[in-house]
A and B are shown apart, each in its own frame.
Chain A
Amino acid sequence: MRNLLLFLNRYNAFFLFLLLEVFCFYLIVNYNHFQRTQFLSSSGVLSASVLNAKSGVTDYFSLGKQNEQLAAQNSVLLDKLYNKEKVRYIYTADTTERDSSEVRKLYDFIPAKIINKSTLKLHNYLTINKGENQGLKPQMGVMGPNGAVGLIQKTSKNYSTVMTLLHKESRISAILKNNNHFGSLTWDGRNEFYAQLNDIPTNIKVAKNDTVVTSGFSDFFPANIMIGLVDSIWREPGSNFHTINVELSTIFRSIDHVYIIDFIDREEIEILESETINE
């Protein structure tokens, strides 16, 4: 201790010098914007790269949450998109007394996460984490970020199963976008990337890469939801219809978020139609 004091005393000028300079640099960095940014940026190179690396790691931890947020946001956007557009339903099924310029909410989009799925069987299903408690019912349409996915098959309190397009019994009303001819989309069970569009008469010209979308003639889907692109066309001998191989836009193997389409007027239409048939 005594030695330390002696040492300090001997070099007191030097220590005072250091003290004052440190104080000066404190002042410089605190009161001069340019010098502060210079100081911080040069000393910040290291910290910035460390922080970058850190966020590169920690970003992954929040991916689940961010996905949920994005899905929620997407459902809002889908809502706007399909309810604003003059959907086919307004002309085909809507009652005439309604002003056609009125934008009425026709569809609700409920985001859900896939918790289980199969793609390699003949009857492929998804299981999603929304159910009756969230307003889901059987026969509601399901779409993914890239297009149509399937229909709700069964619901429980908080979960539902979805019959995908990759299902032997699946049958969805689809149209060729450029000429509005409609047919039904089925799956032959062979390849998870292709489905088949039937019932297009042979006098209709179909070309490779024509777009196939939902027709809007069913209760399940709004019109114009992407299904896929025409991949190949052939004609079974003796048939008057094309058989069209459609490359699906949804890759079922990699999909993990979907939106359930709740068609608000469905019950009304069903009652109306059943009454008409029973007459």
Chain B
Amino acid sequence: MNNSIIANALRFLVLLLVQVLILNEIELHGFIHPYIYPLFILLLPFETPRWVQLLLGFIMGLLIDVYANTIGFHAAATVWLAFIRTTVQEVNKPSGGYEPEQRPLMFDMGVKWTLFYVGVSVLLHHFVLFSIEAGSFANVLSTLSKIFVSSLVSIFLMMLYQFIFVPKQ
């Protein structure tokens, strides 16, 4: 349990720093904005109380906002992500259900499960985020393509992260 808290706190810091220091500087064609910090919420243990997930999502999002000078955008999107996370997990439940000691990591759940879980969550997160950013439905097509392309890059980065940081157990 303690181990898990430390691991998640560390992940929180690492993802925040990677996002703020590296990814925020990347703006491919002003079109692709990859985000990796939502992975923190996605990788919280299954049994985390929902209110904790929501609060953590809010805090994480707000910190990103502070650095990106977009107060509220990421907070709203990440709280939304924390909220739908459980639903996505339910939809994606293996036929036998989740084992008590399983974590939502690729290491525990496999590539296929993770790809679905991360893919759907990130799309939903990006959808909210870019819609808020666009502020109106005036340029829906441009917004949608932004969401789609950025999501692809974000999902790729998140999968890559999980390939690299394999828990030692």
Contact = CB atoms under 8 A, between A and B. Distances in A.
B54 A24 contact: no
Contacts of B50: 12-13, 16
A264 interface: no
Interface in A1-30: 12-14, 16-17, 20-21, 23-30
A60 interface: no
Contacts of B65: 27
Contacts of A28: 71-73, 76, 132
A61 interface: no
A28 B70 CA distance: 8
Contacts of A35: 132, 135
B51 A13 contact: yes
Contact of B54 (A13, A26, A32, A42): A13
Contacts of A32: 70-73
Contact of A20 (B71, B79, B86): B79
A45 to B, nearest CB: 12
A13 to B, nearest CB: 4
Nearest to A28: B72
Given A21-B80, A32-B71, A42 B132 contact: no
Interface string A34-55: 1100110010000000000000
A14 B58 CA distance: 14
Contacts of A20: 54-55, 57-58, 75, 79
Given A28-B72, A28-B76, A16 B54 contact: yes
A249 to B, nearest CB: 52
28 contacts: A13-B50, A13-B83, A16-B50, A16-B51, A17-B80, A20-B54, A20-B58, A20-B79, A21-B76, A21-B79, A21-B80, A23-B58, A24-B58, A24-B72, A24-B75, A24-B76, A25-B72, A25-B76, A27-B72, A28-B73, A28-B132, A31-B71, A31-B72, A32-B70, A35-B135, A38-B136, A39-B135, A42-B136
Interface of A: 12-14, 16-17, 20-21, 23-32, 34-35, 38-39, 42
